[in-house]
Amino acid sequence: MPKASGDPSSGTLATDMIDRAARDNLAERLRHLTTGLATNFQFERGAVRSADPVISEIEFRLAWPAYDDMHEHRLTGPNAITLGQRLDFATAILFLKSNLPYEWKSHTGLRGLLNGVFRLVPFTRKNRLDTSTGDLRVWPFYRKTDYDAALKQPPYLHRITRNEQKC
């Protein structure tokens, strides 16, 4: 797996690490996966290693549960994701395009290894995230106010009024 930009040896805490290249890579891969432009295997082949904790959290909590990794397919037809999943993916892409740090506790150690590598325990957001302070409705954002602010500056398809258009 190629290494993305962002060096954890730089003294930056992992929770404060924002790896722009890895986030942009994952945002595009998620867009291609959810629209059927890429297969699940193409999605996985495009992965990069990163110290930014949101990369692995989104891959394991959101992307991996959305497809069957036993055979190659697109998320279309009988493999299509639900409207709720599409909204979750859109929220994740919006977060990836932001410059906000990932504030949820990342799961590491033996339990994280078992969940992430061997996938023995179901990896659902609700049973794995501490929701005592964060707002699960806007995960991977931590606060709804951050989510609302990001919605005002969408990374794709910015709204242009007729007065702003150049003729």
Amino acid, res. 81: I
Q: What is the DSSP letter of 48?
A: -
- Is residue 117 in some structural domain? yes
How far, in Å, CA of 54 to CA of 92, rounded? 9
Q: Count structural domains, the chain.
A: 1
Q: pLDDT tens digit string along 7-48? A: 433 333 444 589 999 999 999 999 999 999 999 999 999 999
Q: Is residue 118 part of a domain?
A: yes
Whole-angstrom distance, CA of residue 62 vs CA of residue 39:
16
Residue 12 maps to a domain: no
30, containing H or E segment: helix 20-35
Beta bridge partners of 3: 49
pTM of the predicted structure, to 2 decimals: 0.76
Looking at the domain assignment, is residue 160 inside a domain?
no
Rounded CA separation 32/39 (Å): 8
* 104 found inside a domain: yes
Classify residue 140: in a domain, yes or no: yes
Least confident of 77-81, 98-102, 149-153, 156-160: 156-160
Tell me which residue of 23, 29, 31, 140 sits closest to 92, measured CA to CA.
140
Instruction: State the Cα–Cα distance between residues 28 and 31, nearest whole angstrom.
Output: 5
Q: Which residues contact 62 (CB under 8 A, 6 or more apart)?
A: 88, 89, 92, 125
- The mean pLDDT of the chain is 80
> Range of 67's domain?
19-151
Please say whether the beta carbons of 102 and 52 come within 8 A: yes
